[in-house]
Structure 1
Amino acid sequence: MNILINIGIVLLTFCLMECITWLTHKYIMHGLLWVLHDDHHNKSPAFFEKNDYFFVIFAVISMAFFICGTFITDLGFLFYIGIGITLYGFAYFAVHDIFIHQRFKLFSRTDNFYFRALRKAHKVHHKHLGKEEGECFGMLFVPIKYFKEALRTKK
């Protein structure tokens, strides 16, 4: 039974990370820490962006959960929260950096219905070059209107 609870914690954390990502993206990346996120919307020729520091920030948070869940007795559930955050980070990297922005040239010819909707939502987000007037701040959960558009634009 304990393993099912731990799996549940990982899955719940993974799903909650989409909400946390949306809030962080809208209010921190497009707000207080725009100075780090700006180069993601206004591309520079460099491979690494200041925006990549957000990966480091979330990695440190995840490591803190791992450490606290390992070394503080009776708080083992924190370890599984760390796993959920880490898995979301891998998914975010694969979808955002590899699939959408093609930082590594993989999956460029994918014609999956979900991925077409995801790409469209992200394009809409990037049409705004400034920190104001943004939309579609999440990553994995795509608004319904982009699925409808993906149906209309089937290749």
Structure 2
Amino acid sequence: MIYALITLGVFITMEGVTWCTHKYVMHGFGWFLHEDHHEPGYPHVFEKNDAFFIVFAIPSMLLFLFGTYTEYTFMFFIGLGILLYGLAYFLIHDVLIHQRFKWFKRTNNWYFKGLRKAHKVHHKNMGKEDSQCFGMLFVPLKYFKEQM
């Protein structure tokens, strides 16, 4: 039970980590990697922005490694929480919102529509400065209320 709580807690915490990383790193000193993501119609399968997946995957993999060295420890479940958030982020951001993979093209769910709207507002500003809506799974309620 404690390990499930650790995994869930890390998953939820990752939204805050992602928000901070998006606002202060991606739209800060890491803009050179994130900038192509804000270019409309970027023609490549991969973006420089995809490097951030690696940045988040490394600690998760290390936690899996050290968390199973002799037996399963809390580190494994921290890594699992990071991995599960990464999967959710991929499905929401790359599949649902940006349609990089055409898997969920016709969803009519109010929650997903709210996430899409908030991300669209984020991309409305094409530059590094003055963006808003840096979260991925938890965005301001006004975007959900518009979809209900």
Asked if these proteins are the same fold (TM beyond 0.5), I'd say yes
1:86-97 superposed matches below 5 A: 86-97=83-94
Corresponding position of 2:12: 15
1:128 corresponds to which of 125, 130, 141: 125
Give per-residue Cα distances to partners, 1:33-61, cap 9 Å, x unaligned.
00000000014211100000001111111
Map of 1:16-55 to 2, 5 A cutoff?
16-43=13-40, 44-55=42-53
Q: Which amino acid aligns with 2:63?
A: F
Task: Report the AA paired with residue 20 of structure 1.
Answer: V
1:56-92: CA deviations, max 9, x gaps? 111111111112212277x811110000000000000
Question: How many correspondences in the alignment?
Answer: 147
Against the structure 1 CA distance between its residues 25 and 8, is the aligned structure 2 distance closer, same or farther, given a 3 Å change threshold?
Answer: same
Deviation at 1:142, TM superposition (A): 2.0
Aligned residue in 1 for 2:101 = 104
User: How does 1:61-80 map onto structure 2 within 5 Å?
Assistant: 61-71=59-69, 76-80=73-77
2:108 is aligned with 1:116: no
Look up the match of 1:82.
79
Give the Cα–Cα distance (whole angstroms) in 2 for the partners of residues 61 and 72 of structure 1: 19
- Structure 1: 5+ residue runs without aligned partners? none
Amino acid at match of 1:27: Y
User: Aligned equivalents of 1:59 and 1:78: distance in 2?
Assistant: 14
Give RMSD over aligned pairs.
1.3
% identical equivalent positions: 60
Distance 1:123 1:36 in 2: 20
- For residues 130 and 110 of structure 1, the distance between their equivalents in structure 2, rounded to whole angstroms, comes to 29
Runs of 4 or more consecutive aligned structure 1 residues displaced over 4 Å after TM superposition? none
What is the rounded CA distance, in whole Å, between the counterparts of 2:142 and 2:127 in structure 1?
23
Task: Quote the offset at 1:110 in angstroms.
Answer: 0.5
